[in-house]
Amino acid sequence: MLIAQKKRKENISEYLLYMWQVEDLIRANHFDSDEIRRNLVDRYDQPAAVKEEIARWYEELADMMRQEGVMERGHIQLNKNVIIALTDLHLRLLKSPKEMIYGSMYYKTLPYIVQLRAKSGGEDIPEIETCFTAVYGYLVLRMQGKEVSAETLEAIKQISAFLALLAEKYKDDMEGKLDEE
């Protein structure tokens, strides 16, 4: 909760990746409040009242996952809404004559997106979600200590740079600093 709040304000891309990890942590702890408390909440160096708030936050997310049918895989609507907002911003930026650098970064990233979509068979998944899925998959592989090919590293580097720029534009947009016209 504390990390999520901070990341949401500072970097929407990091926030979304963090929230996907939280979903997986809830799954790994079998949606069990006691396990979540023991394995996640108790590790926070916070006063008891804050830990209770954090435990409630995890429980609310677990409830959302149950209600929305994403107990085994998938993402809650809260996280899907971030993808929708980023996709909307992405499309606006591509149309903006003032966002040539963004457009250039996107077209440099596009071959990787096309390749990833072809491999996954996910043609109807938004491009931005494809990018996040790639980065998240890479992070999971790294946590597992698995090797990643040089080609994959090159793709992840480009996709990460693209998502970082999109996150920057999102922050500017939220602060009213984005001039698209």
Neighbours of 77 (CB within 10 A): 11
Contacts of 161 (CB under 8 A, 6+ apart): 105, 109
- Separation CA 65–CA 15 (nearest Å): 18
pLDDT digits (tens, 9 = 90+) for 137-179: 999 999 999 999 999 999 999 999 999 999 999 999 999 999 8
The residues spanned by each domain of the chain are: 2-67, 77-174
Three-state secondary-structure class, residue 23: helix
Q: Extract the tokens encoding 70.
A: 């994403």
- Torsion (CA) 86, 69, 62, 5 in degrees, nearest 10: 10
To the nearest 10 degrees (0 to 180), the angle between helices 12-28 and 2-10 is 150
- Separation CA 88–CA 118 (nearest Å): 23
pLDDT digits (tens, 9 = 90+) for 43-93: 999 999 999 999 999 999 999 999 999 999 999 999 999 999 999 999 999
pTM higher than the cut 0.75 = yes
Q: Extract the tokens encoding 167.
A: 């996150």
